[in-house]
Every structure is written in C-alpha cells, then in structure tokens.
Chains A and B, each alone.
Chain A
Amino acid sequence: MIGTAIALIIMFAAAVPIAFSLGMAPLIALDAQGIPLIVIAQAALESLDSFTLLAIPFYVMAGRIMLAGGMATRLVGLAAALVGWVRGGLGAAGVLTAMFFATISGSSSATAAAIGSILVPEMTKRNYPKPYAAAIIASSGEIGVIIPPSIPMVIYAVTVSESIGSLFLAGILPGLLIGFSMMALIIVQSTMRGYGDPTRFAPREIARDVWAATKRAALSLLMPVIVLGGIYGGIFTATEAAVVAAVYALILGLFVYKELRWRDLPDILAGSAKTSAIVLIIVAFASVFAYVLTTYQAPQAVAAWLTAVTASPLIFLLLVNGFLFIVGMFMETLAAIIILAPVLAPAAIAFGIDPIHFGTIVVVNLAVGMVTPPVGVNLFVACSISKLRMEQLMPPLLPFLATLILCLLIITYVPALSLALVR
C-alpha cells in the first residue's frame, strides 16, 4: 500500500499524465496481493459504463456550440449589461451562471465545463488574467453538486439509506452561501487589482443596455427554461437535459442565429469528444486506484482510528473534515463517497450528529476535493478549457480554496444552515 502511494507521488512529480499514474501506481499492490492485472482493464471499462457520466460530454458539447453559435456572446452580453458596471462584474456573473446551471446539472465538472467554455474566453477578452478566470470556473463548478439536483447526493443517500429529498433541500442554503461568498471575493479582488472593465454607473444607460441585451438573448434565455421545465415537469432526467441543451443550442446556432456552419460541426464534435476524454480517462484509471485502496481496506482503517481518538463531536467533525479533505485531494468524489460514507455515517450518528447534516458536510467537503490538486476533476476541466497548466492555476486558486474551506467550516458548525429547510 505504501509502495503504491510512493509510486503515485513519484509519477505525479515526474509529470506522468495523471490518468496513467493512477493506473500504473497500483501495479505493485495488485501484484503483491496476487490479483490478476486484468482488473485494470475491467475497472477502467466498468467505471465508464454509466449513463450519468454522459452529462459531461453533452455539457462540453453544449458549451462549445453555444460558444460557436452565438448564444454565449448573447448571454454573456446580458450578464455584462446586468452587472458589468461593477468591478469584477463578469467574474461574479460567472459564479451566478454556475449557480443557475447548478439547478440544471447534478455534476460539478459538467457545470464547470458548461460555464467554462463560454466564460473563460470572454473574461480573457475583458481584461481578466486567464488563470484567474480559470480559477473562478474551477471553484464555482462545485456549486453544481451542492445546489440540487446532485449526483453525489443521490449516491450518498442511496449508500447510507438516507432521504434524497431531504439531502437535496439541505444543499440549497450551503450552495447559496458558497456562491455569494465567492462573488464577494471576486468583486473585492477585482477592485483591488483592477481586473475587468472599469466602473461606470449611469442608470439610464444601464437600463437601455439591459433591455437591448435581453431582446438579443431572448431565445438563448429560453434554453434554461426548457431544460429546467423539462426536468421538473417530468419529461427528462438531468443527463437527458444535458443532451437537450446541446441540441437546442445546435438548432439555434444553425438555423436561427446562423452563426454556425455545417462544416464547423466535425471540428466542434471531435473537439468536444477530446475534452471529455481528457477528463473521463482520469475517472477510468482512478477506479483502478480506488480498487486497490478498497482491497487494503485503507479507508476503513483510518475511519476506525478517527472514532477511537476522540469523544467530542466537534473534534470528530474537525478530524472527519481533515480526513475527507486529504482523501478529496487524491480520490474521485463518487468512489470516495461509496467507500467512506457507510463507514463514517454510523460513527457520526453515534456522536449525535444529524445524518442529513453529516451528509451535507461529506458532499460539500468532497466537492471541494474536485478543486484541490493533484486529482480534481474541476481543475482538469478548467485546465483543458483554458489550455493552462495546473500549476499556472494554483496562485489565483488559493484564495478561492480558502473561501471554500471557510464556507465548509461554517456549514459544519452551523447545522441550521443545512437543516432549516429540511424541517
């Protein structure tokens, strides 16, 4: 087990692509345990065999089509008209867009992919440093799994037999807290550093711009209505909503705005496939790594230690948060939930912690893990979209991570935030 961990660190350091590192590091452990290497093929193929994961390519594709087909510019134009007159307004609008997409999307990386492909180029155009724009996208993507619907919450609830409906409700206020905290951070930072367009407050002019932008964006604004109405009206699931979004964007781009040409399509489609593959190949090989962790019962050992070391619920929660944070750095979120939730949840109940509150903590914490290096699916999406290296993303990302951790602590120690809407 230790050999596998060391091998992984060495390979990460030697710039072996993360996907391959996750597949190669377990070789030693598999050999030691006499497990046939064929499990590598099996784990990689099986982890991808999921209808839910399809949301990722579809939101990537929707984003690209919206970008090329003229929807994105219209939506961003509207966002800019609405809040662009504040310093950092477009960045804050990015977070708002993420919060809005979160009500459609159950996945963090899909949210990051959808808003990222639109907003990173646009923000770069408007005087934001590219790594800063990418950091906003990476860190606001996680709101996608905190504001319902949420795939990790479904997995958590099913794994520990808790109410999915309650867990969804519990995610709303924490999601808003995180969103508004990040918007505040962006406005403060942009004001201090002069990012974005300068402030110009002229009410009459703003109202006129907003009206014009709304008219221009009307059909684009219809998309979330169709998608949301579709989900809550019982026409399709969140994954299917993703494909409907992509096709609606395609129709608009080809036949209404006419900014998309048929001969652009092969490039857009193949490019979307590639971006999705770059993300999903990591999911595939992370499952090999997770398999080895499971066979060594490593998470169980740590969890047993956690419950032995303290009698205070407050310290228990702090330890759990620390533990999950470290797990979240290295492990894929769903795998971590599936392996850890059944071990941690009973311990939490023994400490007298509300199970729904605890579920919220676990999901928010592991959602932060999607933004922490070295294994963070939102980082990969943001890197892939912005074409930046991960280390270029790190400096601007740190304040966002600090904000997320602060929010996580508030969510942990103020149970009412999670439970107010449930009761």
Chain B
Amino acid sequence: QAVTELRLGHVLSEQSSYHVAGTKLSELVDQRTNGRVKIVVFANSALGGELRLIQSARTGAIDLMFNSQPSLENTIRDLGVLSLPWLFDNYEQANRLMQGPMGQRLLTLLEPVGMVGLSWFNLFERSVLTNRPFTNLAEARGLKIRVIQSPGYVETYRAIGMQPTPTAYAELFLALQNGVVDAAELAPDQMIADRFVEVIRHYVLTKTHQLPSVLIASRSRFNALPADVQAAIRASVPAAITEGLAYYNRFREESFVEVRRRGINIIEPDLAPFKAAARPAYDTILANAPNGRALLAEIEAAKARA
C-alpha cells in the first residue's frame, strides 16, 4: 500500500529537544499507522528558518514543524501576550499552564491563519549574559543588549533602561566578542550549544521571559489527511511531547552545571525593581496585540487557579 511521507522541519540541531520529540512522534505515528505514514524530521533549518517554516505551513509546503512563539507573533499578533516580561512566576508554573487548558486555549489562535497547533512544547527560560555584570537597575542602564525583535522583548529592555540593539543571531558571537553589543538575552542551553560561554563571563539570572515553543501542523495538509491518520497523529503527540520535555529538562540542568563549570559568574539580582521598571512596558506591548488585554486577564486567572 502507498506510504504517505510527511515533512517536519525545525531550526535546532539533531541533539535538541525538538529533534528528540520529532523523532519520537515519527516512531509512534509509524507504529499507529502500521508504516503507512512516515514523518521525516529535517533539523538545522534545512527546510528554512522559523519565519519561512511558518509561511511554509500556511502555504502547505511543509506538513509539521516546531517553532518558537516570538516568530509566530508577526503572523498572530495576539500571541505577543506571551512575550510580556515576567508573565509567569517561574519556569514550573509556566510549563504547567502551557501544558494545561490555558495552553489549549492559546493554540486555537493558530487555526484562522492556516495552522493547526498540536501542542505547546518546552519553554526556554531566558536571562541576560554579559561582560558588564549588573545587580541593579543603575548598573544595567545603557547596556547595549541584543534581544529578539519583538515588542515584548525590545520594550522590556528599553523600559529597564538598556539599549536594545538588533543583531542577527549568527552575528551575535562576534558582536559580543568585539563588544558591538554588551549583552544578550538567551537560555542557558544556547550558551553552551552556540559557545557563548567562550566570550562572556557573567550570566545574570533575570529569567525575563519563558519563551514557549510549539508543535504545529499545516492546516491544509493536515485536513487533507484521512481521518484515521489525523487521529493517529493527534494520539501520538502527548507521548512525544512528554519524552521531549523530559529530555529538555535534563538538558537544561546539565547546561546550568556546564555554565558553572566553565567559570561563568552567575548573578542572582533582586528582581523586584526590574519587574517594577518593566511594568509600564505592558501598555506598549499590549498595544500590538488586539485582544491582548483579555488574554492577559485569562492568563492571570489561570495563574490564580493553578
């Protein structure tokens, strides 16, 4: 019988949580469909960077992808609510909410623009790495920081008094090494994987953003699949996500150990003044998300319940 081949794209390496979860999904779907459906996982941006993957999913050029939420903001502005600084109290709470009903609710935002949100995936807790250490607002003032080009990131650091500087990720290593920028906001695993530990000396645990990733199917490609195949994919997602999350959490802890082992100075400042200084940025950030305030209220309510 005919074998349907589905393409899953992501931008991380073959050692990443994306690849682990994607490979697991491929195995499970293969089993559930008795080998009728093969998911081929393309790592390392082989099918394009994040923005291109999103477009591909919308046009039906790929079937599945892992992507990060800030890249989706350009297409779904309401998702910008997830870029608000210190939106969640901590990493664990954020994971709980995103894997629960609140996460399900947010996935429905993908449908109208041609994508099916299958599940939220791991969160990247992002803090500031720098060669100019700071423990308070005064010391942070004026630092040139590379952040993701989304209002939730740019406005946050501007409100804190830093100078957000657009820099391509591929150029960031050199920029930090040469001092074109003083700092960047990244997750600990990126510091190891992309070798930033070689050029920076301090990691300030600001935990500013819990950046979510998400498993997405192309709506047109997904709906064209037979109903039993759709069901087999949906049924395989939770186990694949669980395995990927366990892998990421282990990886994240190992990264922290490695960061310390490499002699990076870890700074844990009092975050209250930073949060207070960033709060006014909420207005600017939410101005870009048409239903942002309502969604924020829903998230706050879900936090209170959890």
Contact = CB atoms under 8 A, between A and B. Distances in A.
Interface stretch (A151-159, A320-328, A351-359): A151-159
Interface stretch (A32-40, A59-67, A117-125, A399-407): A32-40
Contacts of A52: 168, 170-171
A42 B177 contact: no
Contacts of B171: 51-52, 154, 237, 239
Given A234-B178, A295-B7, 19 more contacts: A42-B56, A46-B55, A49-B51, A157-B173, A158-B173, A161-B193, A162-B195, A163-B195, A164-B173, A165-B173, A165-B177, A233-B179, A237-B180, A294-B46, A294-B47, A295-B47, A338-B44, A342-B14, A342-B43
A128 B179 CA distance: 43
A149 interface: yes
Interface string B36-56: 000010111111110110011
A294 B171 CA distance: 25
Interface string B163-199: 0000111110111011110000000000001110011
A384 to B, nearest CB: 26
Given A46-B51, A158-B170, A236 B180 contact: yes
B136 interface: no
Contacts of B174: 149, 154, 164, 237-238
A42 B59 contact: yes
A218 interface: no
Please list the 5 inter-chain residue pairs (A to B) with the smallest Cβ-Cβ separation, ordered nearest first.
A234-B179, A39-B61, A46-B52, A234-B178, A38-B59
Contact of B61 (A36, A151, A157, A158): A36
Contact of A237 (B56, B167, B194): B167
A51 B199 CA distance: 23
Interface in A126-179: 149, 151, 154-155, 157-159, 161-165
A36 B59 CA distance: 7
Contacts of A163: 195, 198
Interface in B203-259: none
A161 B51 contact: no
Contact of A158 (B60, B167, B179, B194): B194
A314 interface: no
Contacts of B61: 35-36, 38-39, 42
B291 interface: no
Nearest to B173: A164
A162 B59 CA distance: 35
A155 B178 CA distance: 18
A369 B88 CA distance: 50
Interface string B268-302: 00000000000000000000000000000000000
Contacts of B173: 154, 157-158, 164-165
Residue among A50, A291, A297 having the largest count of chain B Cβ atoms under 10 Å:
A291
A16 interface: no
A180 B48 CA distance: 38
Interface in B151-172: 167-171
B46 A39 contact: no
A339 B46 contact: yes
Given A46-B55, A342-B13, A155 B45 contact: no
Interface in B15-68: 40, 42-49, 51-52, 55-56, 59-61
Interface in A210-239: 231-239
Nearest to B192: A161
Contacts of B198: 163, 165
Nearest to B47: A294
A161 B170 contact: no
B13 A157 contact: no
B56 A161 contact: no
Contacts of A154: 170-171, 173-174
30 contacts: A35-B61, A38-B59, A38-B61, A42-B52, A43-B48, A46-B48, A46-B49, A46-B52, A46-B55, A51-B168, A52-B171, A149-B174, A154-B173, A154-B174, A155-B170, A158-B170, A158-B194, A161-B193, A162-B195, A163-B198, A165-B177, A165-B199, A231-B178, A233-B178, A234-B178, A291-B48, A294-B42, A295-B47, A338-B46, A342-B44
B72 to A, nearest CB: 16
B16 to A, nearest CB: 11
Contacts of A294: 42, 46-47
A9 B118 CA distance: 42
Nearest to A148: B174
B226 to A, nearest CB: 16
A237 B175 CA distance: 7
A239 B49 CA distance: 21
B167 to A, nearest CB: 7
Given A165-B177, A295-B7, A342-B44, A36 B60 contact: yes
Contacts of A291: 47-48
Residue among B45, B52, B194 having the largest count of chain A Cβ atoms under 10 Å:
B52
